[in-house]
């Protein structure tokens, strides 16, 4: 049950139409695009995928589309973020994920009525995990968005032995002491997936093997090269590649944040539309300036690409 995932797992954007409705029609092509760029899985309906901005019905439609196009590819693992605020909705989505054949489910902390302590967070996790005992269950730690920042070592201890399907944690935080302690807990019992693309090299150095990231959607070759350089002990090259990643990610902050990822996707030929409110999208004028900055990064030398992308999308 507790297999450890390896390599790059993309956090896909949810494709949107001009009117703001979801556009599941391009998901099969999106999957092929990721696969052709050596991405090993997809973490759908997460932060990048705007899961919190979608209805339960929409999240089911997105999950069904990913399940349908990946069902014959056991090497490409798809897990869905269930949410965190309404436990009943999360259980409903977990049961649906099992029904359609997704690999795993993930759950983040309730962030309106927040758990008072780690014990209450663990109770919330256990309530959802128990609904799908035959599926790997991951906790998604992203305190910058949830406001819930308990040490994950404490959560591992609280969960250990209570849910056989508790597989590990998607760790999107900068506490390397906590992350390393989790990696080493009970001889590496739990799968710890790194979630900060800009710090991947540091995570590799302390033992991370798998990572979930938004920038893997459009710059997977950069990160696969980084991993290869690290594994070959070419730390100078690995460091230079990490700096390229940082320079690329800095443009997200410059042009408005998470929505800028969809602008990067346009530049690799996969138009995912815009982000929903309340996220701000860049203007046409900003997009022109953004393109110039991206060109200055030599983005074409490390971007995700496919010879067939124009046929796929």
Catalytic sites, residue numbers: 140, 170
- H-helix segments, the chain: 27-36, 56-70, 87-100, 118-129, 143-146, 152-159, 176-184, 200-205, 216-231, 235-255, 260-267, 284-296, 309-312
Question: Could you give phi then psi for residue 93, rounded to 5 degrees?
Answer: -70, -35
Cα distance between residue 297 and residue 303, in whole Å: 11
Cα distance between residue 8 and residue 211, in whole Å: 5
**Cα angle for residues 272, 301, 220 (degrees, 5° grid):** 50
Cα distance between residue 109 and residue 179, in whole Å: 18
Max CA pair span of the chain: 54
Beta bridge pairs of residue 171: 141, 194
Question: Could you give phi then psi for residue 186, rounded to 5 degrees?
Answer: 50, 50
Cα distance between residue 156 and residue 302, in whole Å: 37
Cα distance between residue 225 and residue 199, in whole Å: 15
- First and final C-alpha spacing in the chain: 35
- H-helix segments, 136-175: 143-146, 152-159
């Amino acid at each position: 049950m507790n297999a450890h995932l390896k390599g790059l797992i993309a956090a896909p954007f949810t494709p949107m139409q001009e009117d703001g409705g979801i556009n599941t029609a391009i998901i099969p092509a999106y999957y092929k695009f990721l696969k052709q760029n050596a991405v090993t899985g997809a973490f759908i309906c997460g932060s990048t995928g705007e899961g919190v901005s979608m209805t339960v019905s929409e999240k089911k439609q997105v999950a069904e589309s990913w399940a349908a196009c990946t069902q014959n590819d056991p090497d490409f693992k798809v897990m869905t973020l269930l949410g965190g605020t309404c436990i009943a909705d999360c259980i409903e989505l977990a049961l649906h994920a099992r029904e359609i054949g997704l690999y795993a489910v993930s759950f983040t902390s309730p962030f309106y009525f927040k758990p008072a302590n780690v014990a209450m967070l663990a109770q919330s996790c256990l309530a959802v995990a128990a609904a799908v005992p035959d599926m790997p269950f991951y906790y998604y730690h992203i305190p910058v968005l949830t406001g819930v920042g308990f040490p994950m070592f404490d959560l591992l201890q609280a969960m250990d032995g209570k849910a056989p399907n508790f597989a590990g944690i998607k760790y999107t935080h900068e506490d390397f002491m906590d992350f390393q302690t989790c990696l080493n807990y009970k001889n590496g019992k739990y799968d710890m997936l790194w979630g900060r693309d800009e710090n991947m090299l540091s995570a590799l150095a302390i033992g991370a093997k798998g990572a979930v990231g938004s920038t893997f959607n459009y710059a997977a070759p950069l990160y696969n090269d980084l991993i290869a350089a690290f594994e070959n002990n070419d730390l100078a090259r690995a460091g230079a590649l990490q700096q390229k990643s940082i320079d690329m990610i800095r443009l997200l902050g410059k042009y408005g944040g998470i929505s800028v990822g969809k602008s990067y996707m346009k530049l690799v030929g996969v138009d995912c539309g815009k982000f929903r409110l309340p996220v701000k999208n860049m203007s046409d004028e900003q997009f022109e300036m953004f393109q110039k900055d991206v060109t200055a990064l030599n983005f074409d030398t490390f971007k995700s690409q496919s010879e067939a992308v124009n046929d796929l999308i």
